[in-house]
Structure 1
Amino acid sequence: MSDSVTKSTFNVGVVGYGLSATVFHIPFISVTPSFKLHSILQRDPSKSSLSAPRDHPTLKHFTALDQFLADPDLDVVVVTTPPQTHFSFAQKALLAGKHVLVEKPFVPSAAEADALVNLAKEKGRLICVYQNRRWDSDFLTVRKLLADESKLGRIVEFETHFDRFRLEKPTNWKGSLGIDQGGSALYDLGTHLIDQVYVLFGMPQSVFAILSSQRDGLFVGPQQPNLEPDSFTVQLFYESGLVAFARAAVVSAEVRQPRFWIRGTKGSYRKAGLDSQEPQLRSGMKTDDANFGRENAEWNGKLTLVGDNGDFQEQDCPNVEPETYSKIYELFGQAIVHNREQDVPVPASQARDVLRIIEAAKESARNRREIELSQRT
């Protein structure tokens, strides 16, 4: 592979060809100026309803990882396979001298994350984690609100939700992969929600978690330490007195599912409904569509401010102008062009910190106690 500082366009190869690759990655790789979709590794295209060679006949196609990584024209590897494979695929890609972007959850453990962080530094390559929901329009709106302390004041409670009504267990890996391999709702959805809290407030002092299988009516605990949770409430405690809640449920029969609820000394903010990008992408909307990333006004958040006379003033709070998930690829491309680790939009070290919080949540639920966290970053 050529030295990154001498290039402005990089060949990208995608490992895996399922929903993640086809919906969340390839559409954005294809519109990123510094990236060119170059190759796809799909183990057995003939046995899948999704066939990379059929859909992308002009690309290079591989069925074995070693041959894929041996291609000297390949610069960047995007790992979109299930989480238990992420560590070995990312490790081999780094050893082959490639830059790497890994779908979330990054890897099953903070120790594995540390190993990849160190390996990337040793090899002089960049590694990014696909925490795309940092670019949800509602989350960008929340970031803007919290950046202006005059709006909500000191935040005392913060809730981020991903609730649904899904009584049937998933039939793909999300319904069968164990929590110790990066499965369960805690890793799938919890990675997003806890990452959002981390981005806003940093590492908490301590964590208390309730992990449950709402479908079965059971809790993780001393008597059920290996239960695979489909729902969770994770509380994160901060020195300022802030308590942040990250919550996901599969038994939530709501027309307007809660998304954010933030309470501060000068006001509050509530938002319902999930960001529009995922359903738009699943429906086939193109990333350059004028409506991509936008939602109808009926889903505007509600901002309640405390007036000088103590009265409450409620107003609509529309989302900010969407940046969309294309931003993570744009920024990662720029980081590679300039070969600057500090420009990586979601550094693996941050994903490692989120994994440390998740591991504390697992320990808390199994032992029914609050877990202290060191402030090491």
Structure 2
Amino acid sequence: MSRTIQVGIIGFGLSGRYFHAPFLTVNPHFKITKVVERHRNEAEAFDPTIQTVRSHEALLADPAIDLIIVSSPNDTHFAYAKAALEAGKHVLIEKPFANTSAQARELLELARQKGLVAIPYQNRRYDADFLTIQQLLREDQLGDIVEYECRYDRFRPDVANSWKEQDTDGGGNLYNLGSHLIDQAVALFGLPESVSGDVRIIRKGGVLDDYFDVRLFYPDKRVILKSSMLTIDSSLRYIIHGTKGSFIKYGLDIQEETQRKNILPNTPDWGAEPESQYGMLTTPEGRFTFPSQPGNYHHFYDNLYRAIVGEKPQEVTPEQAIAVIRIIELANESSQSKKVLEFR
């Protein structure tokens, strides 16, 4: 039987307001009941039926809430998620899932013991470009992949006065954007044999890393994951070479941009990219425009619901959640030691 999952959100900034709330609002399986905001009432402005509370303790004390979304700064993820699990709540944690692989293992073991779902928010698995790449691989359009490169660049020459660029406990670009790129690679190719990293600060006045070049080594392919905060032309996203073809993709998925316009994700043609953003597939037969699959973050929440009610396993598996954090750790260690490190 269908049921409604009662949701509490810790934090209502960019992620809570523009990623979680719109999709939960239009999904009949979820109902946002309470949101923790320390000083503001943004959630009530979004939906007057949402109750604002001022502490995570008040949220966890509500026996009616089934799912807690941890959408607060990275240094709070582990503590809030652990408290939620101990209170018998399922948890959805903004990336990064945790700041260390030991923390990730502890959360997942606690969830296993209590029969609860603990999952990172890896919405970029449902971007138009990544869904299209999965289609290409399913259809064997590229053959055996020999090199896969993904970039997620921005041009932000001024260092922001925010926890993402100032807080050493979980801040920095590798934990931020790197979590997405690494998760996508692990979802496609599994666990690597070894990892190398070049993680740096390239902006004047920078406190935390704002550039990374992470390499994942597999027996038959190389995976290159890069991001820089000083890239004026940040449109390049993927370059993939295989034994049958190559695929090059420009342009970022349009869902975030659409959500920031206060458009709810129940509109027709949601996530459909303009043809100008379609990727190029090159094979021995020629060069072709390859239409993008529509981006659709709905799939993440649908899978989350089915995992909570026991209908289907979670698509972002516990093993993958741990692997992403472990690769971040190894990339940082590799950057300091100037060595390729075995994934372990």
TM-score by length of 1: 0.87
* Number of the residue aligned with 1:301: 279
Asked whether 1:192 is paired with 2:180, we answer yes
Kindly provide the amino acid, as one letter, of the partner of residue 334 in structure 1: R
* Number of the residue aligned with 1:126: 117
- Give the structure with higher Rg (CA): 1
* Number of the residue aligned with 2:9: 14
Which of 343, 351, 365 is 2:313 aligned to? 343
CA distance in 1, matches of 2:109, 2:226: 32
Between 1:135-144 and 1:58-67, the stretch displaced more is: 58-67
State the Cα distance separating 1:107 from its structure 2 match.
0.9
1:188-267 equivalences in 2 (<5 Å): 188-216=176-204, 228-240=208-220, 242-254=221-233, 257-267=235-245
1:116-195 equivalences in 2 (<5 Å): 116-149=107-140, 151-178=141-168, 181-195=169-183
State the Cα distance separating 1:217 from its structure 2 match.
9.9
CA distance in 2, matches of 1:167, 1:28: 32
SS in structure 1 at match of 2:309: helix
Q: Deviations over 1:89-131 (max 9, x none)?
A: 0100011011111111111010000000010011121112100
In structure 2, the CA distance between the partners of 1:61 and 1:164, relative to structure 1 (3 Å rule), is: closer
Which of 361, 364, 374 is 2:331 aligned to? 361
CA distance in 2, matches of 1:360, 1:234: 10
Asked whether 1:70 is paired with 2:61, we answer yes
Q: Deviations over 1:127-184 (max 9, x none)?
A: 12100000001100001111233x2111111001101222111232212121xx2110
Q: Quick one: percent identity of the two aligned structures?
A: 39
Q: Does structure 1 retain, via aligned residues, the 8 Å contact 2:142–2:241?
A: yes
State the Cα distance separating 1:7 from its structure 2 match.
6.5
Which of 264, 283, 303 is 1:331 aligned to? 303
Kindly provide the amino acid, as one letter, of the partner of residue 335 in structure 1: A
Between 1:138-147 and 1:51-60, the stretch displaced more is: 51-60
What is the root-mean-square deviation of aligned Cα atoms in Å? 1.7
Kindly provide the amino acid, as one letter, of the partner of residue 236 in structure 1: L
Q: Deviations over 1:174-213 (max 9, x none)?
A: 12121xx211000100000011111100111111111112
Kindly provide the amino acid, as one letter, of the partner of residue 317 in structure 1: F
Q: Deviations over 1:313-338 (max 9, x none)?
A: 0000110243x112111111111122
SS in structure 2 at match of 1:152: coil
Q: Deviations over 1:48-87 (max 9, x none)?
A: xx63344433223211222211111111111100111010
Kindly provide the amino acid, as one letter, of the partner of residue 209 in structure 1: G
CA distance in 2, matches of 1:147, 1:55: 40
State the Cα distance separating 1:344 from its structure 2 match.
1.4
CA distance in 1, matches of 2:124, 2:45: 30
5+ residue gaps, structure 2: none
CA distance in 2, matches of 1:319, 1:79: 31
TM-score by length of 2: 0.95
**Between Structure 1 and Structure 2, how many residues are aligned?**
344
5+ residue gaps, structure 1: 1-5, 219-226, 308-312
Asked whether 1:89 is paired with 2:80, we answer yes
In structure 2, the CA distance between the partners of 1:134 and 1:294, relative to structure 1 (3 Å rule), is: same
* Number of the residue aligned with 1:98: 89
CA distance in 2, matches of 1:141, 1:217: 38
SS in structure 2 at match of 1:44: coil
SS in structure 2 at match of 1:163: coil
4+ aligned runs moved over 4 Å, structure 1: none
State the Cα distance separating 1:372 from its structure 2 match.
0.8
SS in structure 2 at match of 1:30: helix
Which of 314, 320, 335 is 2:293 aligned to? 320
Kindly provide the amino acid, as one letter, of the partner of residue 22 in structure 2: P
Which of 31, 46, 50 is 1:36 aligned to? 31
